[in-house]
């Protein structure tokens, strides 16, 4: 039996997905500010401090402290609660902020806790707690791609995260190690040990273009990886949009450059 609200859901789309959550009477879903897409008449929307879970503490100061922790993960102080105040089933939908996939996290089946990158959380059933997780090792926090602070998603209900590009789900056996680009780690269960490893060989990190470090994930547990981190996409867009960058048309030099690198 779940202590969190037991919601039903359906995911639509391929590259630009949204999740439709079906709420029974008096059931509630919580979501990040800006994730809302559409809802049936009879659902009431309310802005709340934090995530509305029982872990917030009692009183205004307890809720303010819980919400304030979210600032450390780069999120807003506020979340939005959507409650079915009518009779019968009602639907509310939430959309991904950029191209990629929505990941369904059944926390009851995942040991009650998942650790995710700072901006991965999209929405969840009411009762799911969205907190902070500090990296235990100094080197992991400095060079791990996500800093010292990640999101901690806890409870026994459904939560939904989003990631860029294609999402790969891997089940790691005890002691099994997977080496990953630091930006490609989306989430992992609490039994997985997350660390960083220095790229060996001076030529590799000087000319390899892959950075000085990669992440190591050691089982047992489940991990979710993304093929296109938003930071990588943003960096590539900025590279082509800078004043000093090559122009794509109206320039002899730009056209020659395109010809040389195979884009013409």
Helices first, then strands: H and E counts in the chain: 5, 19
Q: Tell me, what's the pLDDT at 213?
A: 73
Whether 249 shows a pLDDT value over 50: the answer reads no
Higher pLDDT, 224 or 147: 224
Q: Tell me, what's the pLDDT at 24?
A: 96
Instruction: Give the integer Cα–Cα distance in Å for 213 and 200.
Output: 9
**74 token code pair:** 């780069």
Long-range contacts of 144-148 (CB under 8 A, 24+ apart): 144/182, 144/194, 144/196, 144/213, 144/215, 145/181, 145/182, 145/183, 145/185, 145/213, 145/215, 146/117, 146/118, 146/182, 146/185, 147/118
**For a pLDDT cut of 90, what percent of the chain falls above it?**
48
CATH class held by domain 8-242? alpha beta
Over its C-alpha atoms, the chain yields an Rg (Å, rounded) of 21
Which residue in 200, 96, 110 sits closest to 154, CA to CA?
A: 110
Q: Tell me, what's the pLDDT at 66?
A: 55
Higher pLDDT, 121 or 148: 121
Domain ranges of the chain: 8-242
pLDDT-derived band at 132 (thresholds 50, 70, 90) equals: confident
pLDDT tens column, 159-205: 999 999 999 999 999 999 999 988 899 999 999 998 888 776 545 44
Q: Tell me, what's the pLDDT at 131?
A: 84
Angle at 23 (CA atoms; ends 128, 223), nearest 5 degrees: 40
Whether 260 shows a pLDDT value over 50: the answer reads no
pLDDT-derived band at 234 (thresholds 50, 70, 90) equals: confident
* CB 40, CB 91: distance < 8 Å: yes
Mean pLDDT of 87-113: 95
Cβ neighbours of residue 188 under 8 Å, at least 6 residues apart?
A: 114, 115, 194, 217, 221, 222, 223, 224
**200 token code pair:** 């060996």
Mean pLDDT of 69-92: 79
Higher pLDDT, 51 or 113: 113
Q: Cβ of 172: how many Cβ atoms within 10 Å?
A: 20
| Alpha-carbon distances, residue 5 vs 84, 86, 132, 235 (angstroms) | 12, 16, 22, 39
Q: Cβ of 203: how many Cβ atoms within 10 Å?
A: 7
Burial environment of residue 179 by CB neighbours within 10 A (0 to 12, 13 to 18, 19 or more): exposed
Question: pTM of the prediction?
Answer: 0.78
């Amino acid at each position: 039996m779940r202590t969190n609200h037991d919601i039903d859901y359906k995911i639509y789309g391929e590259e630009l997905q949204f999740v439709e959550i079906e709420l029974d009477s008096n059931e509630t879903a919580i979501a990040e500010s800006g994730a809302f897409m559409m809802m049936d008449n009879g659902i009431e929307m309310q802005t709340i401090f934090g995530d509305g879970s029982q872990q917030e503490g009692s009183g205004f100061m307890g809720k303010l402290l819980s919400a304030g922790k979210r600032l450390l993960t780069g999120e807003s102080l506020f979340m939005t609660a959507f409650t079915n105040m009518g009779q019968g089933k009602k639907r509310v939908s939430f959309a991904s902020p950029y191209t990629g996939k929505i990941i369904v996290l059944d926390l009851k089946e995942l040991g009650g806790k998942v650790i995710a990158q700072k901006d991965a959380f999209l929405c969840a059933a009411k009762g799911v707690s969205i907190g902070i997780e500090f990296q235990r090792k100094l080197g992991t926090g400095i060079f791990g791609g996500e800093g010292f602070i990640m999101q901690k998603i806890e409870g026994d209900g459904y939560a939904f995260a989003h990631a860029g590009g294609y999402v790969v789900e891997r089940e790691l056996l005890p002691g099994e190690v997977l080496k990953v680009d630091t930006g490609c780690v989306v989430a992992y269960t609490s039994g997985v040990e997350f660390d960083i490893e220095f790229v060996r060989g001076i030529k590799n990190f000087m000319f390899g273009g892959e950075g000085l470090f990669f992440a190591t994930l050691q089982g047992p547990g489940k991990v979710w990886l993304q093929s296109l981190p938003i930071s990588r996409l943003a960096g590539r867009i900025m590279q082509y949009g800078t004043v000093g960058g090559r122009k794509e048309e109206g320039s002899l030099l730009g056209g020659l450059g395109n010809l040389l690198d195979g884009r013409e």
